[in-house]
Amino acid sequence: MGAMVFDDIVGQDQALDFLKKVLKSEQISHAYLFVGPEGVGRRKTALALAAALNCAKGGCGHCSICRRTIRGVYPDLKLIQPEGNFITIEQIRELQGSIKLRSYEGHRKVIIIDEAGSMNAEASNALLKTLEEPQDEEVFILIAASVEELLPTISSRCQVVPFRRVPREAIIREMVDRRGIDQSQADKIARISGGTYSRALEMLEGEGWRLERREEILSLLKKISGSPVEEAFSVAGALLSQAVGDQDNLLEVQKEEMEESLEVAMSPRHGAFIRNKLRKRHARQLSRKRSLEINDILDIISSWYRDLLVYQLTAQDSFLINRDHRNEIRDMARRARIERLTNVLKEIGKIRRMVGFYVNPGAAFEYLCLLLREV
């Protein structure tokens, strides 16, 4: 009985064992902090825990409460995510207003704060006040990459639950046994996914767009070394269009949201207020989407230079992420210089940290490509 909602989560046995024990003992804390890398199942587990806390059967996965919670549309569930690069104090205030209201269905109110590290100081302090006065029926689940991302005053009020990179074998097993993918394809995807199961799934389900993007970017990287400056700029342009090219869906959704919201405006002035508020939020959403895309592209680029470095140091294929391109990696690794490779990896790290704050992706890619042509 119970906790079927956790069945879909791959490679996080320790975290799940802990949470199942908590549920069984009914010693529920007021706040949990899920820490670990992006894409390993923290969010999915948070939603599953929220379902298990309210489902009459402890998380059956089938009842209306479970299904609505997992889809993120259950009224006693609040999901806070950064709308731009930050979670703002307005978002925390709105949350505080809404949790003061009584539970709709007489259940626990579960508040998930995704990317809690993106709360600015104001937002953190506002949240702290709420955490300091815990209400019986509230459970907070904060999600972050590491404990250090949060103010110590916040993290010390949370029960920390660590999540780990999913072992490659677990991803392969899952894809082969449960999804019927053939062994060599599963092996390739598991390597590229770098221990993040959600990325592996995206590669399977996103009609291969991510694999295509990777192929396209790797083919650009193969020709950039030693190329003329104009070539480096054209590669930078291609990377930029990869990063911003895929905004159409979001723009469409935003347009619909704007139209629907304006329909309920009670006066022209109210309409202007709604328009203004939504525009700001939409701009934040767009810039956030762009940072995610840029990070994704940087992941692919750094995997390539990491592979060159690894091959230089070990002369072995088995450690490569992009093993399906091993011939080119061998060739390029022979020509590349170690200090240039380590420098490129360092610079990619710097750009990654900058992207959240200072976003001129075009200039960042140009800078990077000029370095890459010298590798």
Considering the complex, what minimum distance in angstroms separates the CB of residue 68 from Zn ion?
Answer: 10
Rounded to whole angstroms, the Cα distance separating 109 from 140 reads 8
| Inter-helix orientation angle 268-314/248-263, to 10° | 160
Cα separation of 349 and 344, whole Å?
A: 9
Position 89 contacts Zn ion (CB under 5 A): no
Q: Is the Cβ of residue 56 or residue 363 nearer to Zn ion in the bound state?
A: 56
The SS3 assignment for 371 reads: helix
For Zn ion, give the closer residue by CB, 1 or 121. Answer: 1
Count of residues near Zn ion by CB under 5 A? 4
CB of 111 to Zn ion, least distance (A): 20
In the 8-state DSSP scheme, what is residue 337? -
In the complex, the smallest distance separating the C-beta of residue 74 from Zn ion, rounded to whole angstroms, is: 11
Closer to Zn ion by CB, 60 or 294: give it: 60
Contact region for Zn ion (CB under 5 A) — 51-59, 104-112, 165-173, 322-330? 51-59
Would you say 306 and 288 are in contact if contact means Cβ atoms under 8 Å apart?
Answer: no
230: exposed, middle or buried (Cβ count in 10 Å: 0-12, 13-18, 19+): exposed
| Interaction of residue 55 with Zn ion, rule CB under 5 A | yes
- The pair of structure tokens assigned to 326 is 């091993």
What string marks each residue from 235 to 264 as x (binds Zn ion by CB under 5 A) or -?
------------------------------
- Give Cα separations from 329 to 76, 121, 184, 326 (angstroms): 51, 45, 19, 5
**57 to 76: interface string for Zn ion, x by CB under 5 A:** ---x--x--x----------
Cβ of residue 14: shortest distance to Zn ion, in angstroms? 24
Report, in Å, the least distance between residue 6 CB and Zn ion: 12
Instruction: Considering only the stretches 48-56, 145-153, 205-213, 257-265, report the one whose residues sit in contact with Zn ion under the rule CB under 5 A.
Output: 48-56
Maximum distance among all Cα pairs of the chain, rounded to whole angstroms? 70
Packed helices 338-355 and 268-314: angle between N→C axes, nearest 10 degrees: 170
Contact set with Zn ion (CB under 5 A): 55, 60, 63, 66
